[in-house]
């Protein structure tokens, strides 16, 4: 099953999409990677979904990626005497470590790390920013605040601390247990929540090793201050616009999205745009015009993938959401202006042998217009560097590793074919031409551009560019 597009689709599985028939329908409609959101559901739920995805993969003979999304730390208030309280603008409001239920004048905040991070003048956001407080005085166990934006606040609502680095690991005890379980299952990607700095990614890398690729979720404004380092250290990035939008003014999010995509494309990292892409389709069979433009905008900017969250996990129309997203992407990629914009936003490659080969590949594709580009890759490196160039031909990635093929399912323009291995250049050319035909990308007489590394089987050795013609 080849897709008629370069950008990929991630769909979150949940109560609305756990039935095997629904998962199959979502895959057939265009899903390339399924997200298992460990903020919800049990290990048994995720295990069953994982098994169904793998059964589907075997049936269709197409690698399907699985993304494990860790919950990360959740900073929340305690409870209130009557379940809620009304906070008036200008009123004083105390937060402290006392677990006694709260009232209109105070509430428990069982997170000492927050009190360690804040100071007079800091702001606290409650309930996704609906309530805003300014810290007037603080200590190791309390904060006296004034209400800047009031309203009703209820039990266990979330707390955000914009502009402050919280001395907290992105991996909670629950996350570590979920991570161990997911790695044992054999997930392909791990999405790391609450990333604030490079060290957070390195902490996860020490636990994960090479058992999965790491996707840093950029939810905290502080992460943007360390953007270049985070992008360098991870395998992919998720633009988590919903959480970013809590701590930052909404008008800044489009600019940050473009900046993150540009940096990921420059370095050659997978970049995913997420949150509320087709939010109205949670309850409606059709999107708003603004949502359609939002998805299209991410594709025009060159994102590797776009993601559905509640739309596919708990919404009433998961299949319609995937179908709509697929249509939008295909339409954008047929627009001549899309190719113009992708070319105009191309950035200078690194001064390496691998990138010089891939730059030459991009130029060759532009000049001779081959039916397809074929990359040979044992680690995914050659395919990733080729995808960075955003050439106009699709990439068929031949790899001996089924694991690598699944990970590449998230990469722009890549159609991965696992369990293919060559021992010499002549065999490589023959396999490339046959794969171009069997996968539906070429036919007799077409040209095929081939990128690989010699000696075969060694990671990061991209040093060969070959043009071949498909013969009978």
* Across 158-162, average pLDDT: 94
pLDDT tens-digit series, residues 203-234:
999 999 999 999 999 999 999 999 999 999 99
Q: Which long-range contacts (CB under 8 A, 24 or more apart) does 333-338 make?
A: 333/5, 333/6, 333/7, 333/299, 337/300, 338/299, 338/300
DSSP 8-state code for residue 158: B
Beta bridge partners of 218: 239
Helical packing angle, 289-300 and 318-334, nearest 10°: 50
pLDDT tens-digit series, residues 63-94:
999 999 999 999 999 999 999 999 999 999 99
With a CB cutoff of 8 Å and minimum separation 6, the contacts of 434 are none
Question: 74 an active-site residue?
Answer: no
Question: 461 an active-site residue?
Answer: no
User: Could you tell me the maximum CA-CA distance found in the chain, to the nearest angstrom?
Assistant: 81
Question: 35 an active-site residue?
Answer: yes
Cα 267 → chain centroid: 16
Question: 217 an active-site residue?
Answer: yes
Residue 260's pLDDT is 98
Q: Supply φ then ψ for residue 93, to 5 degrees.
A: -145, 125
Taking the C-alpha atoms of residue 442 and residue 81, their distance in angstroms, rounded to an integer, is 69
With a CB cutoff of 8 Å and minimum separation 6, the contacts of 255 are none
Q: Is the pLDDT of residue 103 over 90?
A: yes
What residue has token string 């392909």?
188
Catalytic residue among 24, 54, 74, 76: 76
Q: What percent of the chain has pLDDT over 70?
A: 100
pLDDT tens-digit series, residues 428-448:
999 999 999 999 999 999 999
Residue 456's pLDDT is 82
* Across 279-291, average pLDDT: 97
248, two tokens:
């930052």
pTM passes above 0.85: yes
Measure CA of the first residue to CA of the last residue in the chain; give whole Å: 23
Catalytic residue among 217, 269, 388, 390: 217
CATH code of the domain occupying 84-160 = 2.40.33.10
Residue 263's pLDDT is 98
Catalytic residue among 275, 292, 375, 399: 275
Catalytic residue among 35, 269, 385, 407: 35
pLDDT tens-digit series, residues 315-362:
999 999 999 999 999 999 999 999 999 999 999 999 999 999 999 999
Domain spanning 353-469, CATH architecture:
3-Layer(aba) Sandwich (3.40)
Q: Where are the domains of the chain?
A: 8-73+169-334, 84-160, 353-469
- Domain 8-73+169-334 fold: TIM Barrel (3.20.20)
Residue 421's pLDDT is 85
């Amino acid at each position: 099953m080849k897709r008629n597009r370069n950008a990929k689709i991630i769909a979150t599985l949940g109560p609305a999409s756990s039935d095997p028939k629904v998962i199959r329908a979502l895959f057939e409609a265009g899903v390339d990677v399924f997200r298992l959101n460990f903020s919800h559901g049990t290990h048994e739920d995720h295990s069953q979904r994982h098994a169904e995805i793998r059964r589907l993969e075997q049936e269709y003979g197409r690698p399907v990626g699985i993304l494990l999304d860790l919950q990360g730390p959740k900073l929340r208030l305690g409870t209130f005497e009557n379940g809620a309280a009304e906070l008036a603008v200008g009123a004083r409001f105390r937060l402290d470590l006392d677990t006694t239920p709260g009232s209109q004048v105070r509430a428990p905040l069982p997170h000492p790390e927050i009190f360690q991070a804040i100071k007079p003048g800091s702001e606290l956001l409650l309930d996704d920013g609906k309530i805003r407080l300014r810290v007037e005085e603080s200590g190791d166990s309390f904060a006296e605040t004034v209400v800047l934006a009031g309203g009703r606040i209820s039990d266990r609502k979330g707390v955000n601390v914009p502009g402050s680095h919280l001395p907290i690991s992105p991996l909670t005890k629950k996350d570590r247990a979920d991570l161990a379980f997911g790695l044992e299952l054999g997930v392909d990607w791990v999405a790391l929540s609450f990333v604030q700095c490079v060290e957070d990614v390195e902490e996860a890398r020490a636990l994960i090793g090479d058992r999965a690729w790491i996707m840093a979720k950029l939810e905290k404004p502080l992460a943007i201050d360390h953007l270049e380092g985070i992008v360098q250290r991870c395998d992919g990035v998720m633009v988590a616009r919903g959480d970013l939008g809590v701590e930052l003014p909404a008008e800044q999010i489009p600019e940050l999205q473009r900046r993150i995509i540009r940096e990921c494309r420059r370095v050659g990292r997978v970049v995913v745009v997420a949150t509320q892409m087709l939010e109205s389709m949670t309850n409606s069979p059709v999107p708003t015009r603004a949502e359609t433009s939002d998805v299209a905008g991410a594709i025009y900017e060159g994102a590797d993938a776009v993601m559905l969250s509640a739309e596919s996990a708990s919404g009433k129309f998961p299949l319609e959401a995937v179908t709509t997203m697929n249509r939008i992407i295909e339409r954008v990629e047929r627009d001549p202006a899309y190719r113009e914009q992708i070319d105009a936003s191309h950035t200078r490659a690194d001064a390496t042998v691998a990138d010089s080969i891939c730059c030459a590949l991009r130029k060759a594709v532009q000049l001779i217009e081959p039916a397809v580009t074929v990359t040979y890759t044992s680690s995914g490196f050659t395919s990733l560097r080729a995808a960075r160039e955003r050439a106009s031909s699709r990439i068929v990635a031949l790899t001996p590793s089924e694991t690598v093929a699944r990970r590449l399912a998230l990469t722009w323009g890549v159609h991965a074919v696992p369990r293919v291995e060559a021992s010499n250049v002549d065999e490589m050319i023959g396999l490339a031409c046959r794969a171009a035909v069997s996968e539906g990308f070429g036919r007799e007489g077409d040209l095929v551009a081939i990128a690989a590394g010699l000696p075969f089987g060694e990671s990061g050795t991209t040093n060969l560019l070959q043009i071949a013609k498909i013969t009978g």
